Structures are given as structure tokens and as C-alpha cells.
A = this chain, B = another copy of it.
Amino acid sequence: MVCIVHLTEKPVLNDPILIEGLPGIGFVANIATLHLINELKTPMFGQIHSSSFQDLAITTDNGKARHPTNELYYHKARDNEERDLIILYGNTQALTTFGQYELCGKILDTAHDLGSHLIITLGGLRRDEKITQPPKLYCAASNTETLKKATDLGAQIIEGQIYGIAGLLIGLSPLWNINAFCLLAETPGYYADAAAAREVLQATNKILHIKADMTRLDKAAQTTHEILKTFGMTTQPPDEKAKEKETYTWRI
């Protein structure tokens, strides 16, 4: 086993947008995509397993064991406005640099095979100071034209480093002839941040045009919080040492 994409179905999609929703700072992407999956009742069509995920099983109160995995869902537009979607959801990113590149390569292969030309990666931007509500949005993109799409959603340009899958996908996507931008909401980052998730989702939806009830987003945040607890992830404010290693704290 190395990094395997296991498709149970190959959906026929019309220029789908891939939304990346793996765990990260504030679990913003995780909450936002879980909400879409719940609301749209999107079918799961594949799983990604990697030997760079943790080597353990996690059991829940029903005793069924789960292991670290990424899941692929799709949504077919229900009217002329909605966009076809591929949703990447999961309970982990890869543990190593090598594994992250390998995982990104597999995600980009899959997006390319399904005819995607745009990837939106979601996430949180950690802020130590008090965050005004609604939290501000930040963005970066694989090229100038795609950046325009993100700034049109009300996001400011971010300067600096974007760690993990959210950053790597926008850096590597041009090699697959795919455009990509990331949309990050300010967050304290140490709990499942529903407000930040709502903000990135509402902004993204100006492109997706998905008719989804936002009232139940808190439920997705609550579920995410419970999954975190199962995985033994702390939800206390990080101390200085933890902050240094923040790229790790949000990985399972």
C-alpha cells in the first residue's frame, strides 16, 4: 500500500469544481464540506488510503472501527445555476511531506480525470488577536485570472506561506492544467470554528450557486468537534510551543 484512490463509481460530471475539505486550522474546511455533504446528501464515490496516514484504528461508541481516510463525494447540479461538485472530505492529511505530495498528486489526477478545471481549497488563517465578526477572508491563487475570482468574493490577498494540502494544491495545480484558489477565514484556530466555516462557505457559494440551508451548519461543527474528541485532539488554546508546530496540531 502506498497511496491508493479506490473509486466505487466514476461519476459523469460537467466541468466540476473540486472543493478541498481536509482537517486544518480551525477545521474550517472540514466543517464547510461536511455541511455540504449533509445538506446535499452527496453520494460518496471513492476513498483515498495512504501509508502516510496514521497507523491506528479509531472506534466510536458503536464499536465500529474506522481508520484514517479521505473520501470523495460528488454533487450534480439540480438546476441551471448550481455547479457540479467534487467534494474531498476526510479525517486526516498525510503525516509527511512526501505523503502530502503523493496525496496531492492523486487528488489532482482524480480531478483531472473527472474534467475539473477549478479547485477551491478552504481553510483558516490563525489570528491571535480578537477577531471581528464576521471574520475577514483571505485568498491566494495559482494565477492572476483565478485570483480575480477569489478577490471578487470579497477576500483580501494574503502574503506568506500556506501550509498543507490547501497550499500545495494551488501550487501544484498548474502542472495538471487546473486553476486553483484558496479561501481562508480568520480564526483563533484551536476549536471547530463554525463562524469561519460559514464565512468561507457563503463566499464560495457565490461561485457554486448551491441551494443549501446554512442553519444546520452548527450541526456540522458539532459533529466535527465530536470526531476531534474521538481522535483525542485537544481543543484548548494552544500554548507557545504548540503554536510553533501548528502545521502538525491540526493533523490527526
Contact = CB atoms under 8 A, between A and B. Distances in A.
Contacts of A220: none
Interface stretch (A50-58, A75-83, A186-194): A50-58
A56 B144 contact: no
B100 A55 contact: yes
A53 B171 CA distance: 12
Contacts of A53: 97, 101
Nearest to A66: B171
Interface stretch (A161-169, A197-205, A234-242): A161-169
B151 A97 contact: no
A95 interface: yes
A147 interface: yes
A45 to B, nearest CB: 16
A95 B97 CA distance: 9
A237 B95 CA distance: 31
Interface stretch (A23-31, A134-142, A210-218): A134-142
Given A140-B57, A142-B64, A162-B65, A49 B157 contact: no
- Measured as residues with beta carbon below 8 angstroms from the partner, the interface class of chain A is 35 or more
A158 interface: yes
A157 B63 contact: yes
Contacts of A231: 161
Interface string A145-161: 00100110000011111
A222 interface: no
6 tightest A-B CB contacts, nearest first: A67-B171, A51-B101, A57-B167, A63-B157, A57-B171, A59-B140
16 contacts: A1-B172, A51-B97, A51-B98, A55-B104, A55-B168, A56-B171, A58-B161, A58-B162, A59-B157, A59-B158, A63-B157, A64-B140, A64-B144, A65-B171, A66-B171, A67-B168
